[in-house]
Amino acid sequence: MWVVLGLLVTHPTWGITALPLLARLYVRAKDVAGIPAVDRPAFRTKHAMGVELVRWAVGCLGGWGKVLWVVADGAYATAPFLKPVIALGVRVVSRLRSDAALWTEPGPRRPGQRGRRRIYGDRRMSLAKRAAQKGGWSTGTFVLYGKPTTKRYKTFVATWRPAGGAIRVVVVDEPTGWRAYFCTDPAATVADILTRVAGRFALETTFRDLKQVVGAGHQQVRRFAANVGAFHVCLWTFVMTEAWASTAASEALVGHRATAPWDDAARRPSHADKRRGWQREWQGKEIRAALRPGMTEAEIQAAAERLLDLAA
Protein backbone atom coordinates (compact mmCIF):
# COMPACT_ATOMS: atom_id res chain seq x y z
CA MET A 1 0.00 0.00 0.00
CA TRP A 2 1.29 3.43 -0.95
CA VAL A 3 0.91 6.61 1.07
CA VAL A 4 1.05 9.35 -1.57
CA LEU A 5 1.36 13.12 -1.29
CA GLY A 6 -0.26 14.96 -4.20
CA LEU A 7 -0.29 18.67 -5.00
CA LEU A 8 -3.73 19.89 -6.11
CA VAL A 9 -3.39 22.43 -8.93
CA THR A 10 -6.12 24.17 -10.92
CA HIS A 11 -6.01 24.48 -14.70
CA PRO A 12 -8.13 27.34 -16.09
CA THR A 13 -9.90 25.00 -18.52
CA TRP A 14 -9.58 21.47 -17.17
CA GLY A 15 -10.17 22.11 -13.48
CA ILE A 16 -8.29 20.46 -10.62
CA THR A 17 -5.49 17.96 -11.22
CA ALA A 18 -3.51 16.11 -8.57
CA LEU A 19 0.25 15.94 -9.16
CA PRO A 20 1.76 13.04 -7.15
CA LEU A 21 5.08 14.23 -5.78
CA LEU A 22 6.27 11.78 -3.16
CA ALA A 23 5.22 8.41 -1.75
CA ARG A 24 6.05 5.93 0.97
CA LEU A 25 5.59 2.17 0.70
CA TYR A 26 3.62 0.84 3.65
CA VAL A 27 4.10 -2.77 4.72
CA ARG A 28 1.97 -4.31 7.44
CA ALA A 29 3.80 -5.16 10.65
CA LYS A 30 3.14 -8.88 10.23
CA ASP A 31 4.58 -8.80 6.68
CA VAL A 32 7.81 -6.90 7.44
CA ALA A 33 9.54 -10.09 8.58
CA GLY A 34 8.93 -11.63 5.15
CA ILE A 35 11.18 -9.06 3.46
CA PRO A 36 14.84 -10.15 3.08
CA ALA A 37 17.00 -8.72 5.87
CA VAL A 38 19.15 -6.72 3.44
CA ASP A 39 16.07 -4.77 2.30
CA ARG A 40 13.88 -4.97 5.39
CA PRO A 41 12.58 -1.53 6.44
CA ALA A 42 11.66 -0.57 9.97
CA PHE A 43 7.92 -0.77 10.49
CA ARG A 44 6.12 2.55 10.39
CA THR A 45 2.41 3.29 10.46
CA LYS A 46 0.62 5.02 7.60
CA HIS A 47 -0.03 7.96 9.91
CA ALA A 48 3.70 8.38 10.63
CA MET A 49 4.42 8.24 6.90
CA GLY A 50 1.72 10.83 6.25
CA VAL A 51 3.21 13.18 8.84
CA GLU A 52 6.64 12.77 7.22
CA LEU A 53 5.24 13.66 3.78
CA VAL A 54 3.45 16.74 5.13
CA ARG A 55 6.60 17.84 6.94
CA TRP A 56 8.48 17.57 3.63
CA ALA A 57 5.80 19.64 1.91
CA VAL A 58 5.99 22.32 4.59
CA GLY A 59 9.74 22.51 4.08
CA CYS A 60 9.30 22.90 0.31
CA LEU A 61 6.30 25.23 0.25
CA GLY A 62 6.70 27.15 3.50
CA GLY A 63 8.61 29.90 1.73
CA TRP A 64 5.56 30.83 -0.32
CA GLY A 65 4.11 32.67 2.65
CA LYS A 66 0.77 30.90 2.36
CA VAL A 67 -1.13 28.60 4.69
CA LEU A 68 -0.80 24.96 3.67
CA TRP A 69 -4.03 22.96 3.49
CA VAL A 70 -4.05 19.17 3.58
CA VAL A 71 -7.12 17.21 2.56
CA ALA A 72 -6.86 13.57 3.59
CA ASP A 73 -8.86 10.39 3.54
CA GLY A 74 -10.94 9.64 6.62
CA ALA A 75 -8.38 7.03 7.70
CA TYR A 76 -6.05 9.90 8.62
CA ALA A 77 -8.60 11.63 10.88
CA THR A 78 -6.81 10.37 13.97
CA ALA A 79 -4.64 11.93 16.67
CA PRO A 80 -1.32 10.35 15.50
CA PHE A 81 -1.67 12.21 12.19
CA LEU A 82 -3.67 15.31 13.12
CA LYS A 83 -1.77 16.58 16.15
CA PRO A 84 1.75 16.55 14.59
CA VAL A 85 0.41 18.11 11.37
CA ILE A 86 -1.50 20.83 13.22
CA ALA A 87 1.71 21.60 15.15
CA LEU A 88 3.32 22.35 11.76
CA GLY A 89 0.76 25.12 11.17
CA VAL A 90 -1.16 23.12 8.57
CA ARG A 91 -4.95 23.11 8.21
CA VAL A 92 -6.44 19.66 7.72
CA VAL A 93 -9.75 18.80 6.05
CA SER A 94 -11.10 15.26 6.20
CA ARG A 95 -14.13 13.03 6.68
CA LEU A 96 -15.60 12.76 10.18
CA ARG A 97 -16.92 9.44 11.50
CA SER A 98 -20.61 9.37 12.31
CA ASP A 99 -19.80 8.23 15.87
CA ALA A 100 -17.06 10.80 16.49
CA ALA A 101 -16.85 11.80 20.17
CA LEU A 102 -17.54 15.52 19.82
CA TRP A 103 -17.91 17.93 22.71
CA THR A 104 -19.25 21.44 23.02
CA GLU A 105 -16.99 24.46 23.22
CA PRO A 106 -15.87 25.36 26.75
CA GLY A 107 -17.97 27.98 28.48
CA PRO A 108 -16.69 31.38 29.60
CA ARG A 109 -14.45 31.54 32.62
CA ARG A 110 -16.12 32.35 35.90
CA PRO A 111 -15.09 35.56 37.68
CA GLY A 112 -11.97 34.87 39.70
CA GLN A 113 -11.45 31.42 38.16
CA ARG A 114 -7.80 30.42 38.09
CA GLY A 115 -5.82 27.97 36.06
CA ARG A 116 -5.64 27.16 32.39
CA ARG A 117 -8.78 27.65 30.31
CA ARG A 118 -10.57 24.44 29.46
CA ILE A 119 -10.03 23.04 25.96
CA TYR A 120 -13.14 20.87 25.74
CA GLY A 121 -16.72 21.52 26.74
CA ASP A 122 -18.65 19.47 29.27
CA ARG A 123 -21.51 18.33 27.03
CA ARG A 124 -21.28 15.50 24.51
CA MET A 125 -22.54 16.21 20.98
CA SER A 126 -24.09 13.58 18.72
CA LEU A 127 -23.66 13.95 14.97
CA ALA A 128 -26.54 11.58 14.31
CA LYS A 129 -28.93 13.63 16.45
CA ARG A 130 -27.79 16.87 14.86
CA ALA A 131 -28.35 15.45 11.39
CA ALA A 132 -31.78 14.06 12.35
CA GLN A 133 -33.07 17.42 13.58
CA LYS A 134 -35.32 19.05 10.98
CA GLY A 135 -34.24 22.58 11.81
CA GLY A 136 -30.94 24.30 11.38
CA TRP A 137 -30.33 23.40 7.74
CA SER A 138 -28.95 25.94 5.28
CA THR A 139 -28.61 25.84 1.50
CA GLY A 140 -25.66 27.11 -0.50
CA THR A 141 -24.18 26.83 -3.97
CA PHE A 142 -20.53 25.82 -4.29
CA VAL A 143 -18.26 25.06 -7.23
CA LEU A 144 -17.67 21.32 -6.83
CA TYR A 145 -16.17 19.01 -9.45
CA GLY A 146 -15.97 21.90 -11.90
CA LYS A 147 -19.59 23.08 -11.76
CA PRO A 148 -21.94 25.00 -9.42
CA THR A 149 -23.63 22.57 -7.06
CA THR A 150 -26.34 23.28 -4.50
CA LYS A 151 -25.89 21.60 -1.11
CA ARG A 152 -28.03 21.43 2.00
CA TYR A 153 -25.85 21.56 5.10
CA LYS A 154 -25.42 22.30 8.79
CA THR A 155 -22.25 23.72 10.28
CA PHE A 156 -21.05 24.33 13.82
CA VAL A 157 -17.92 24.43 15.96
CA ALA A 158 -17.17 21.55 18.30
CA THR A 159 -14.18 20.30 20.26
CA TRP A 160 -12.59 16.96 19.45
CA ARG A 161 -9.74 15.25 21.26
CA PRO A 162 -7.97 13.73 18.19
CA ALA A 163 -7.56 17.29 16.86
CA GLY A 164 -6.54 18.66 20.25
CA GLY A 165 -9.23 21.33 20.39
CA ALA A 166 -11.86 23.12 18.33
CA ILE A 167 -12.82 22.11 14.79
CA ARG A 168 -15.32 23.31 12.22
CA VAL A 169 -17.89 20.59 11.38
CA VAL A 170 -20.01 20.51 8.21
CA VAL A 171 -22.85 18.00 7.89
CA VAL A 172 -24.06 17.61 4.29
CA ASP A 173 -27.42 16.15 3.30
CA GLU A 174 -26.70 13.80 0.39
CA PRO A 175 -29.20 11.64 -1.57
CA THR A 176 -27.66 8.54 0.02
CA GLY A 177 -27.68 9.99 3.54
CA TRP A 178 -25.80 12.61 5.51
CA ARG A 179 -22.04 12.89 5.62
CA ALA A 180 -19.84 14.89 7.97
CA TYR A 181 -16.56 16.65 7.31
CA PHE A 182 -14.31 18.79 9.47
CA CYS A 183 -11.50 21.31 9.35
CA THR A 184 -8.95 21.83 12.08
CA ASP A 185 -9.39 25.60 11.62
CA PRO A 186 -12.68 26.61 13.32
CA ALA A 187 -12.72 29.82 11.22
CA ALA A 188 -12.87 27.86 7.95
CA THR A 189 -15.96 28.40 5.82
CA VAL A 190 -18.26 25.75 4.41
CA ALA A 191 -16.92 26.57 0.94
CA ASP A 192 -13.34 26.03 2.18
CA ILE A 193 -14.19 22.55 3.39
CA LEU A 194 -16.48 21.28 0.63
CA THR A 195 -14.33 22.52 -2.26
CA ARG A 196 -11.27 20.80 -0.81
CA VAL A 197 -13.16 17.57 -0.18
CA ALA A 198 -14.33 17.63 -3.81
CA GLY A 199 -10.82 18.53 -5.00
CA ARG A 200 -9.39 15.41 -3.39
CA PHE A 201 -11.29 13.30 -5.93
CA ALA A 202 -8.63 14.36 -8.45
CA LEU A 203 -6.15 12.24 -6.49
CA GLU A 204 -8.36 9.16 -7.03
CA THR A 205 -8.38 9.91 -10.78
CA THR A 206 -4.59 10.24 -10.68
CA PHE A 207 -4.27 6.82 -8.99
CA ARG A 208 -6.39 5.28 -11.76
CA ASP A 209 -4.26 6.86 -14.48
CA LEU A 210 -1.03 5.88 -12.75
CA LYS A 211 -2.12 2.23 -12.83
CA GLN A 212 -3.92 2.05 -16.18
CA VAL A 213 -1.99 4.57 -18.32
CA VAL A 214 1.46 4.95 -16.78
CA GLY A 215 1.71 1.35 -15.58
CA ALA A 216 2.55 1.92 -11.92
CA GLY A 217 2.68 -1.36 -10.04
CA HIS A 218 3.32 -3.48 -13.15
CA GLN A 219 7.12 -3.34 -12.91
CA GLN A 220 8.63 -6.78 -12.33
CA VAL A 221 11.18 -5.91 -9.66
CA ARG A 222 11.92 -7.77 -6.46
CA ARG A 223 13.95 -5.53 -4.19
CA PHE A 224 12.16 -3.19 -1.81
CA ALA A 225 14.14 -0.14 -2.96
CA ALA A 226 13.57 -1.06 -6.61
CA ASN A 227 9.81 -1.05 -6.05
CA VAL A 228 10.02 2.37 -4.44
CA GLY A 229 12.18 3.69 -7.25
CA ALA A 230 10.00 2.30 -10.03
CA PHE A 231 6.87 3.73 -8.44
CA HIS A 232 8.43 7.19 -8.18
CA VAL A 233 9.54 7.09 -11.81
CA CYS A 234 5.87 6.55 -12.68
CA LEU A 235 4.81 9.41 -10.39
CA TRP A 236 7.27 11.87 -11.88
CA THR A 237 6.54 10.76 -15.47
CA PHE A 238 2.90 11.58 -14.76
CA VAL A 239 3.85 15.01 -13.35
CA MET A 240 6.14 15.82 -16.31
CA THR A 241 3.40 14.91 -18.78
CA GLU A 242 0.85 17.07 -16.98
CA ALA A 243 3.33 19.96 -16.84
CA TRP A 244 3.95 19.73 -20.60
CA ALA A 245 0.23 19.51 -21.38
CA SER A 246 -0.67 22.47 -19.15
CA THR A 247 0.59 24.90 -21.83
CA ALA A 248 -0.48 22.88 -24.88
CA ALA A 249 -3.54 23.74 -26.93
CA SER A 250 -6.50 21.46 -26.24
CA GLU A 251 -6.97 20.90 -29.98
CA ALA A 252 -3.49 19.37 -30.18
CA LEU A 253 -4.39 16.89 -27.42
CA VAL A 254 -7.82 15.76 -28.63
CA GLY A 255 -7.40 16.14 -32.40
CA HIS A 256 -7.30 12.36 -32.82
CA ARG A 257 -10.94 12.17 -31.70
CA ALA A 258 -12.00 13.29 -35.18
CA THR A 259 -11.43 9.68 -36.28
CA ALA A 260 -13.63 8.42 -33.40
CA PRO A 261 -17.15 9.82 -33.95
CA TRP A 262 -18.42 7.89 -30.93
CA ASP A 263 -16.15 9.92 -28.64
CA ASP A 264 -17.01 13.32 -27.14
CA ALA A 265 -14.78 15.95 -28.75
CA ALA A 266 -15.65 18.46 -26.01
CA ARG A 267 -14.51 16.15 -23.21
CA ARG A 268 -11.46 17.49 -21.41
CA PRO A 269 -8.18 15.77 -22.33
CA SER A 270 -7.46 12.64 -20.36
CA HIS A 271 -3.98 11.78 -19.17
CA ALA A 272 -3.76 9.27 -22.02
CA ASP A 273 -4.57 12.10 -24.46
CA LYS A 274 -1.77 14.18 -22.97
CA ARG A 275 0.73 11.33 -23.27
CA ARG A 276 -0.21 10.78 -26.91
CA GLY A 277 0.06 14.51 -27.58
CA TRP A 278 3.58 14.61 -26.16
CA GLN A 279 4.53 11.52 -28.16
CA ARG A 280 3.24 13.12 -31.36
CA GLU A 281 5.37 16.17 -30.64
CA TRP A 282 8.47 14.01 -30.20
CA GLN A 283 7.72 12.10 -33.39
CA GLY A 284 7.17 15.34 -35.29
CA LYS A 285 10.54 16.65 -34.20
CA GLU A 286 12.20 13.40 -35.26
CA ILE A 287 10.53 13.50 -38.68
CA ARG A 288 11.44 17.14 -39.27
CA ALA A 289 15.03 16.38 -38.28
CA ALA A 290 15.10 13.44 -40.70
CA LEU A 291 13.89 15.62 -43.59
CA ARG A 292 16.78 18.09 -43.44
CA PRO A 293 18.97 18.14 -46.54
CA GLY A 294 22.21 16.20 -46.65
CA MET A 295 21.29 13.34 -44.30
CA THR A 296 23.29 10.17 -44.77
CA GLU A 297 21.76 6.73 -45.08
CA ALA A 298 23.03 5.83 -41.62
CA GLU A 299 21.38 8.92 -40.10
CA ILE A 300 18.11 8.13 -41.89
CA GLN A 301 18.25 4.56 -40.59
CA ALA A 302 18.90 5.76 -37.03
CA ALA A 303 16.00 8.24 -37.26
CA ALA A 304 13.70 5.49 -38.54
CA GLU A 305 14.67 3.26 -35.59
CA ARG A 306 13.92 6.06 -33.10
CA LEU A 307 10.54 6.69 -34.73
CA LEU A 308 9.69 3.00 -34.56
CA ASP A 309 10.64 2.94 -30.88
CA LEU A 310 8.41 5.95 -30.18
CA ALA A 311 5.51 4.45 -32.13
CA ALA A 312 5.84 1.15 -30.30
Burial 161-177 (b: 16+ CB within 10 A, else e): ebbbebbbbbbbeeeee
Average pLDDT over residues 37-44: 88
Q: Please enumerate in sequence order all residues whose Cβ is within 8 A of that of 62, keeping only pairs 6 or more positions apart, or say none.
A: 68
Is residue 77 situated within a structural domain? no
pLDDT at 130 over 80: yes
Is residue 32 situated within a structural domain? no
Tell me the per-residue pLDDT of 50-72, one tens digit each, with 9 for 90 and over.
999 999 999 988 788 888 999 99
Is residue 78 situated within a structural domain? no
Among 125, 159, 193, the domain boundary falls at 193
Count: domains in the chain = 2
Is residue 213 situated within a structural domain? no
User: Residue 285's pLDDT is what?
Assistant: 77
User: pTM for the whole thing?
Assistant: 0.84
pLDDT at 29 over 70: yes
Range of the domain at 264: 248-311
pLDDT more than 70, % of the chain: 92
Is residue 130 situated within a structural domain? yes
- Measuring CA to CA, which residue among 272, 209, 249 is closest to residue 13? 249
Is residue 59 situated within a structural domain? no
Among 178, 193, 208, the domain boundary falls at 193
Tell me the per-residue pLDDT of 192-249, one tens digit each, with 9 for 90 and over.
999 999 999 999 999 999 999 999 988 888 888 899 999 999 999 999 999 998 888 7
Tell me the per-residue pLDDT of 259-284, one tens digit each, with 9 for 90 and over.
566 566 667 788 888 888 888 887 77
Among 157, 175, 193, the domain boundary falls at 193
How far out from the chain centre does Cα 219 lie?
23
User: Residue 300's pLDDT is what?
Assistant: 77
| Backbone φ and ψ of 135, nearest 5° | -90, 170
pLDDT: is 6 or 292 the higher one? Answer: 6
User: Residue 311's pLDDT is what?
Assistant: 64
Is residue 279 situated within a structural domain? yes
Cα–Cα distance, 166 to 231 (Å, whole number)? 38
Burial 210-240 (b: 16+ CB within 10 A, else e): beebbebeeeeeeebeebbebbeebbebbbe
Q: What is the mean pLDDT of the chain?
A: 87
Is residue 111 situated within a structural domain? yes
User: Residue 308's pLDDT is what?
Assistant: 73
